[in-house]
Structure 1
Amino acid sequence: MIIHEWTSDTTDAHEEGRRFGAHWAPQLTGARDSYLRLFQQSGVSGEQARIIADECRIETETYAPEVADEFRGIAEGSGLALTDVLLLTARTEILARMTPSMECSTVVYVPGDARPPRTLQTWDWHETLSNETVVRRLRSASGARVVTFSEFGQPAKIGVNDRGLGLHFNILHHRTDGSQAGVPVHVLARMILDRARSVGEAVAIARSVPLAASSVLTVVAFDGTVPEAAAIEVSPTGVAVLSAPRGNTLAHTNHFLDERLAAGEYSPYETTSVPRYTCLTEASDLSRIVDDRERALAFGSIPDAPISVRARPEQPEHLRWETKLTVALDVAGGAIAFAAAAPADVAAADWRRVGVADEVVPAVR
């Protein structure tokens, strides 16, 4: 997977979108075509996908007008229809109505002293999709500096801001997914990165918007003295918050941990979510490792660990998932550190670090 980088210092969302769209038009067009193929394979026609995307556009304009402005700029700059830009952002909401997808294992350690949380996540996605992605440095309309990893066309996924807050992202599946129009979960992630300084503020933002699909946003924060973390499980039927006490580890994969929301769990296929969750919790001491690359290497050294997902060639194309990224957050330094590899392969991969405002630090091995 190729991870591009993009830096912007403007708070004008429309202008940022226009510049981004013009520069990355081939990648955006390629992503649109790839997702239309995936939707078709998953039983969603292009017409159905665009109807859902337009529903998401309306909700985004209502609850995140600054992100909607960016989308309009991306459409103008890239030459894509605005609906197709939203189609990329709303891919979770579109797939939630037909074929739920697997992705991601997250673990966070919250120190008992005045040090920041330590985190690690894998991003697991379709083998044939998103083989070009982007790490964006941007300045939000609120003035916050943000650095976020995402697929092309998404406003955010995994990232941090310069206000001491970071966010990990895992998909979930609930029987109410697709039952209403809502703000795309990737727009919600951007809203939190743009606006929040604390877990409490992130929770308030999550509770303030309607949603059409489920996910868990594991939010970590550090104010210089007190570390905090919580898994915010969101779905069309409600929001649940699972906080991590100081001195403890919090893990999440792709099943609900809140009992009420878990009662509506939906997964029509064999899932590795529970084995991956068990792997993280049984190896929770590794999450205490201070150095982010050493932390990734430690989890990657677990024999036959299911958190390093390998594509299964016997599966049809739209059901083959693999780990594409291993990433850690530094909320104190305002940076993300990552390798385009599964944990088991980090030792042979470039480990890169990108801060909200700093120059890129050379990759290390």
Structure 2
Amino acid sequence: MPFLTLRGDPYSRGRQHGEALSTAIHASLSRLKRSSTNGAWSRAERLAGHSWLQLEDLAPDIAAEIKGIAEGSEISLLYAYLLSGFEFLETTPPGGCTTVAVTDGKEAVVAQNWDAPPGTEQELAMLLHQDKDYGVAMVASPGTLGWVGMNWAGLALVTNDLIVDTAMQGIPSLVVRRLLLQERDVSGVLAKLRLADHLSGRCYLFGDANGHVAGCEISPSIGCVPLTGNQIVHTNHPITPPIAIMEDIEAVARIYPSSRERLRSANSPSLEGIADIHGLLRNTTGAPDAICKTASAREPTQTAFSVVFECRDRRASICLGRPDRGVYHAFDFAHESVV
């Protein structure tokens, strides 16, 4: 996994990203365009154009970073925005995920197995953003704002796709993730989530350096429904009644058929430490429809990376590929500037 340190203001960091990963960004953009019809692509450009005006108002620093990515990789600004806005193309992300957030009241751990088509793991990068008053580590695909991450204050975030209702106006979830990682603690994240205009369904789990964890299921029409407790696990279907009402059950059964099996496995053990969490993420019970997932004809995705964020210690442990076959590599960020 490429490990890139991006320094300076948002535009400069975006430009460094774009220049360093230019070849991969062009390849990602080509795949995205090939996966869409001409009509769907034109519609996505219109939606992204309207959303961009909202983004410049809401988060000028993130808009500047996307401009830097576009100019560094020599693609159009709108194309750079579409790389971080799969919702504009009305496509479902190609793979489910299993997430967990655990605390003993003092130490919070947030973790995820991120599933995708085989080979996706070869396209990922770890991006470290450093500025005088900002620091965040993101696991990202080339040209995107990032999938999951942790900031220098020890706030960490993981996420699952939910297939519920959608909206015509709002900001992409990859933008929302970066906005949330500007916060210092769980309460700040929950407040910001309630104010955001969401384009599609999603579940976020998060934890902070004070030992707090929480989660939130989102439907654009219902809003944000919190998840609480010292141990929260999630897959790719809603578990709160208000959001479950909005679920497209047939689509979930077709796209994420393993979701309910994975949730049952994740709910079984009591997670009392890092070793238990690593064990959960390596769990192959029910394979191929397991937490540590194997590609199959029914669901052609597998675990592309596994990550464990230890919030108090500001440590990210990442395994590229299936964790039952790989090794976690730890990155410590406690020495970095605190947000």
TM-score using structure 2 length: 0.89
Per-residue CA distance 1:159-179 (angstroms, 9 max, x = gap): 11121211111111112x1x3
Deviation at 1:128, TM superposition (A): 5.4
Is contact 1:117–1:221 with CA below 8 Å preserved after alignment? yes
Distance in 2, Cα, partners of 1:320 & 1:110: 33
Partner residue of 2:147 out of 157, 161, 175: 157
Structure 2 equivalent of residue 71 of structure 1:
66
Is contact 1:134–1:151 with CA below 8 Å preserved after alignment? yes
Structure 1 equivalent of residue 303 of structure 2:
323
Partner residue of 2:13 out of 7, 12, 16: 16
**Residue 213 of structure 2 corresponds to residue 216 of structure 1:** no
197-206 vs 98-107, greater mean Cα deviation: 98-107
Shift in alpha-carbon separation, 1:98–1:351, aligned structure 2, 3 A: closer
List alignment gaps of at least 5 residues for structure 2: none
Distance in 2, Cα, partners of 1:68 & 1:61: 6
Shift in alpha-carbon separation, 1:197–1:110, aligned structure 2, 3 A: same
Shift in alpha-carbon separation, 1:337–1:331, aligned structure 2, 3 A: same
Aligned length: 329
Deviation at 1:282, TM superposition (A): 0.7
Distance in 1, Cα, partners of 2:171 & 2:146: 13
Structure 2 equivalent of residue 259 of structure 1:
241
Structure 1 equivalent of residue 218 of structure 2:
234
**Residue 102 of structure 2 corresponds to residue 105 of structure 1:** no
Per-residue CA distance 1:225-278 (angstroms, 9 max, x = gap): xx111112223121111122xxx3110111112211110012424321111111
Is contact 1:147–1:335 with CA below 8 Å preserved after alignment? no
Per-residue CA distance 1:128-181 (angstroms, 9 max, x = gap): 54631111111368x132111121222132111121211111111112x1x321
Shift in alpha-carbon separation, 1:358–1:27, aligned structure 2, 3 A: farther
Structure 1 equivalent of residue 169 of structure 2:
181
Partner residue of 2:43 out of 35, 48, 55: 48
Partner residue of 1:281 out of 243, 246, 267: 267
Is contact 1:174–1:235 with CA below 8 Å preserved after alignment? yes
Letter in 2 for 1:342: R
Per-residue CA distance 1:75-120 (angstroms, 9 max, x = gap): 11110111111111001x135x3556542101122104x3x11232
Structure 2 equivalent of residue 362 of structure 1:
none
SS of alignment partner, residue 295 of structure 1: helix
Distance in 1, Cα, partners of 2:309 & 2:302: 21
Letter in 2 for 1:236: P
Per-residue CA distance 1:34-57 (angstroms, 9 max, x = gap): 2223334xx973323323332332
Is contact 2:318–2:330 with CA below 8 Å preserved after alignment? yes
SS of alignment partner, residue 11 of structure 2: helix
**Residue 278 of structure 2 corresponds to residue 296 of structure 1:** yes
Distance in 1, Cα, partners of 2:91 & 2:274: 41
Shift in alpha-carbon separation, 1:105–1:336, aligned structure 2, 3 A: same
Distance in 2, Cα, partners of 1:76 & 1:296: 40
SS of alignment partner, residue 208 of structure 2: strand
Partner residue of 1:125 out of 101, 110, 116: 116
SS of alignment partner, residue 339 of structure 1: strand
Is contact 1:13–1:66 with CA below 8 Å preserved after alignment? yes
Is contact 1:334–1:355 with CA below 8 Å preserved after alignment? yes
Shift in alpha-carbon separation, 1:124–1:55, aligned structure 2, 3 A: farther
Sequence identity percentage: 23
SS of alignment partner, residue 206 of structure 2: strand
Distance in 1, Cα, partners of 2:262 & 2:39: 29
Is contact 1:180–1:236 with CA below 8 Å preserved after alignment? no
Is contact 2:149–2:156 with CA below 8 Å preserved after alignment? yes
SS of alignment partner, residue 35 of structure 1: helix
SS of alignment partner, residue 201 of structure 1: helix
Is contact 1:75–1:85 with CA below 8 Å preserved after alignment? yes
SS of alignment partner, residue 146 of structure 1: strand
SS of alignment partner, residue 343 of structure 1: coil
TM-score using structure 1 length: 0.83
User: After superposition, where does 1:191-202 map in structure 2 within 5 Å?
Assistant: 191-193=179-181, 195-202=182-189
Q: CA RMSD in A?
A: 2.3
Partner residue of 2:161 out of 140, 161, 171: 171
List alignment gaps of at least 5 residues for structure 1: 360-365
